[in-house]
Amino acid sequence: MTAIPQERRVVTAIPGPKSVELQARRLAAVAAGVGSTLPVFTARAGGGIIEDVDGNRLIDFGSGIAVTSVGASAEAVVRRASAQLADFTHTCFMVTPYEGYVEVCEQLAELTPGDHAKKSALFNSGAEAVENAVKIARAYTKRTAVVVFDHGYHGRTNLTMGMTAKNMPYKQGFGPFAPEVYRVPVAYGYRWPTGAENAGAEASAQAIDEISKQIGADNVAAIVIEPVLGEGGFIEPAKGFLPAIAQFAKDNGIVFVADEIQSGFCRTGQWFACEDEGIVPDLITTAKGIAGGLPLSAVTGRAEIMDAAHAGGLGGTYGGNPVACAGALGAIETMRELDLNGKAQRIEEVMKGRLAEMRSKLPNGDIIGDIRGRGAMIAIELVKSGTKDPAPEAAGALAKACHAEGVMVLTCGTYGNVLRFLPPLVIGEELLNEGLDVIEQAFGTL
Ligand code: PLZ
Give 97-137 as a DSSP string: --HHHHHHHHHHHHHSS-SS-EEEEEESSHHHHHHHHHHHH
Question: Structural domains in the chain?
Answer: 17-60+339-443 (3.90.1150.10), 76-337 (3.40.640.10)
Instruction: Convert the pLDDT of each residue in 105-114 to its tens digit.
Output: 999 999 999 9
Determine the residue of 65, 157, 285, 422 to mutate for testing ligand 1's pocket, defined as the one with the most ligand atoms within 8 A of the Cβ atom: 65
Q: What pLDDT is recorded for position 2?
A: 67
Instruction: Name the pairing type of β-strands 377-382 and 368-374.
Output: antiparallel
Ligand 1 atom at minimum distance from 259 CA: 2
With a cut of 70, say whether residue 1 has pLDDT above it.
no
- For residue 298, list its beta bridge partners: 122, 286
Query: For a pLDDT cut of 70, what percent of the chain falls above it?
Result: 100
With a cut of 90, say whether residue 213 has pLDDT above it.
yes
- Cβ–Cβ < 8 Å for 427, 48: yes
- With a 6 A CB cut-off, is 403 part of the ligand 1 pocket? no
**In angstroms, what is the span from residue 134 Cα to ligand 1's centroid?**
16
**In angstroms, what is the span from residue 296 Cα to ligand 1's centroid?**
12
Quick one: which of 119, 140, 229 has its CA closest to 183?
Answer: 229
- With a 6 A CB cut-off, is 231 part of the ligand 1 pocket? yes
- With a 6 A CB cut-off, is 341 part of the ligand 1 pocket? no
Distance of CA 210 to the CA centre of its chain: 27
What whole-number distance in Å separates Cα of residue 35 and Cα of residue 67? 18
Instruction: Convert the pLDDT of each residue in 328-361 to its tens digit.
Output: 999 999 999 999 999 999 999 999 999 999 999 9
- With a 6 A CB cut-off, is 60 part of the ligand 1 pocket? no
DSSP state of 61: S
Longest CA pairwise span in the chain (Å)? 63
Q: In sequence order, what DSSP letters do the residues of 252-306 get, joined into one string?
A: TT-EEEEE-TTTTTTTTSSSSGGGGGT---SEEEE-GGGGTTS--EEEEEEHHHH
**In angstroms, what is the span from residue 155 Cα to ligand 1's centroid?**
5
For ligand 1, atom 7, which residue shows the shortest CA distance? 126
For ligand 1, atom 9, which residue shows the shortest CA distance? 65
Instruction: Convert the pLDDT of each residue in 225-278 to its tens digit.
Output: 999 999 999 999 999 999 999 999 999 999 999 999 999 999 999 999 999 999
Instruction: Convert the pLDDT of each residue in 55-72 to its tens digit.
Output: 999 999 999 999 999 999
Distance of CA 345 to the CA centre of its chain: 17
Q: What pLDDT is recorded for position 122?
A: 98
Instruction: Convert the pLDDT of each residue in 22-49 to its tens digit.
Output: 999 999 999 999 999 999 999 999 999 9
* Across 396-425, average pLDDT: 98
Query: For a pLDDT cut of 90, what percent of the chain falls above it?
Result: 99
With a cut of 90, say whether residue 286 has pLDDT above it.
yes
Instruction: Convert the pLDDT of each residue in 423-439 to its tens digit.
Output: 999 999 999 999 999 99
**In angstroms, what is the span from residue 386 Cα to ligand 1's centroid?**
33
Determine the residue of 234, 261, 286 to mutate for testing ligand 1's pocket, defined as the one with the most ligand atoms within 8 A of the Cβ atom: 261
- With a 6 A CB cut-off, is 259 part of the ligand 1 pocket? yes
Compute CA distances 133 → 207, 222, 315, 376, whole Å.
21, 9, 12, 26
What whole-number distance in Å separates Cα of residue 19 and Cα of residue 339? 36
- Cβ–Cβ < 8 Å for 370, 356: no
For ligand 1, atom 19, which residue shows the shortest CA distance? 126
Q: What pLDDT is recorded for position 3?
A: 87
Quick one: which of 351, 387, 349, 350 has its CA closest to 368?
Answer: 387
Cis amide linkage into residue 15, ω under 30° from 0: yes
pTM check: above 0.75: yes
**Which phi and psi (to 5°) does residue 281 adopt?**
-70, 155
Q: What pLDDT is recorded for position 393?
A: 98
**In angstroms, what is the span from residue 117 Cα to ligand 1's centroid?**
28
Instruction: Convert the pLDDT of each residue in 121-169 to its tens digit.
Output: 999 999 999 999 999 999 999 999 999 999 999 999 999 999 999 999 9
**In angstroms, what is the span from residue 87 Cα to ligand 1's centroid?**
31
- With a 6 A CB cut-off, is 381 part of the ligand 1 pocket? no
- With a 6 A CB cut-off, is 131 part of the ligand 1 pocket? no
For residue 55, the one-letter residue type is G
Residues whose CB falls within 8 Å of the CB of residue 353, separated by 6 or more in sequence, listed in order? none
Cis amide linkage into residue 176, ω under 30° from 0: yes
**In angstroms, what is the span from residue 126 Cα to ligand 1's centroid?**
6
Quick one: which of 221, 227, 234, 121 has its CA closest to 178?
Answer: 221
- With a 6 A CB cut-off, is 227 part of the ligand 1 pocket? no
With a cut of 70, say whether residue 310 has pLDDT above it.
yes
**In angstroms, what is the span from residue 153 Cα to ligand 1's centroid?**
7
